[in-house]
A and B are shown apart, each in its own frame.
Chain A
């Protein structure tokens, strides 16, 4: 549980850094190139299979834990004052995890499945190599090459241009988050991420036997400020950014 959980935490950091390209004001060039890198680089592809396995393993073990632990108390208490001795998040990891599993399914079908198997339009970017200005134009509708990316250099009287033709996942993201319901689903899911990691990150360390005043401060600080606040807030900012853009 702890091993897969911490691995998924490190994934979130990478995912966050990558997705920050969405905020770049370049009509999505950086983000689309990032999407190509993530789906073609052999190292990242290997890690991504490990990631899928981790998600499945984490979910299966979590479901098993919930049911096994329920069996350990066949007769429930009539009155149980849980909040007197533990945090809400720590008592509801199963519920939070279920929300996240549903979210991951929605999220993957929205973007990952669309990108790999669906119809994502292409976009053409012309980058002026002298001043770095980017011009954007939709690729012709009949552009149906298998390649995810094509790059050429072109000389014109106006200067040297780098022409990039790439699958426009950025457009999918920007269009998708115009839907208020999807934005709400994403925001609620990020709340679930926050609570799940508020307990989960530091709990994983305890599972491995790391619970010492010397490092607990650092673990709790990172668990709270990075994983329970900064990362969910950063991800939540993305749907909001496109919704209000």
Chain B
């Protein structure tokens, strides 16, 4: 792909803190290399803002290689931008046209309070995990690998669910701001393995209860979450969680 430079206009959500009102600021940015990642483009913008003596745009980022789940921009109406199965850090400026106006917003959901600009508080996810997204393991020496037989299909499905990086794109994309895809991936990765069985029923009930307490919306099976998920977590996880939840509701003590 030949390198070239493009000019873009950025409309970025600026908000001083969680209490303040916030609004859009427009920044023209010229000579943007199409080989830049979206976050690198924001680095260039922030350099420019700092040189002008302005407050740089706050945004979340960490590994910048698509596996940590920190970056979280809602770009032109879609989480992580227009490409499928990529995080914002893996989105490149070649995906945009010369002269394009790009609207960048933070994730919007009641449990995801804006901390500053594009940074939102995703600790609701941590509390859901803490409510049941774990297994009990005895301390001491590590067990031999493969001591417990696990069907290949289950191991694969569990691994696919465990690919969830907890970025929150599913909540951001959902018209109901529902966290069902995230929670169902975290329930499924353990429900599919023998090690996850002892707490299976209690886990699904506790995690769903925490999800509801946080104020996430209810699932209406639109499928937007899975379509926008950078790790392509499957909708079948939601069905699995619904199944487990129904069974647990009926049979748990």
Contact = CB atoms under 8 A, between A and B. Distances in A.
A69 B221 contact: no
Nearest to A64: B218
B196 interface: no
A245 interface: no
Interface of A: 65, 68-69, 71-82, 84-87, 90-91, 93, 199, 202-203, 206-212
B242 interface: yes
Contacts of A199: 221-222
A96 to B, nearest CB: 12
Contact of B235 (A65, A79, A81, A211): A211
Is chain A's interface secondary structure helix, strand, loop, or mixed overall? loop
A72 B215 contact: yes
6 contacts: A68-B218, A69-B176, A80-B77, A90-B223, A202-B221, A209-B239
B56 interface: no
Contacts of B176: 69, 72-73
A206 B239 contact: yes
Interface of B: 11, 13, 24, 74, 76-78, 82, 103, 105, 108-111, 173, 175-178, 215-224, 227-228, 235-236, 238-244, 246
Given A90-B220, A203-B220, A212-B239, 4 more contacts: A73-B109, A78-B103, A81-B78, A91-B175
Nearest to A75: B108
A129 B13 CA distance: 81
A75 B15 CA distance: 13
B224 A86 contact: yes
Q: Which of A69, A73, A77, A203 has the most CB of B within 10 A?
A: A73
A58 to B, nearest CB: 13
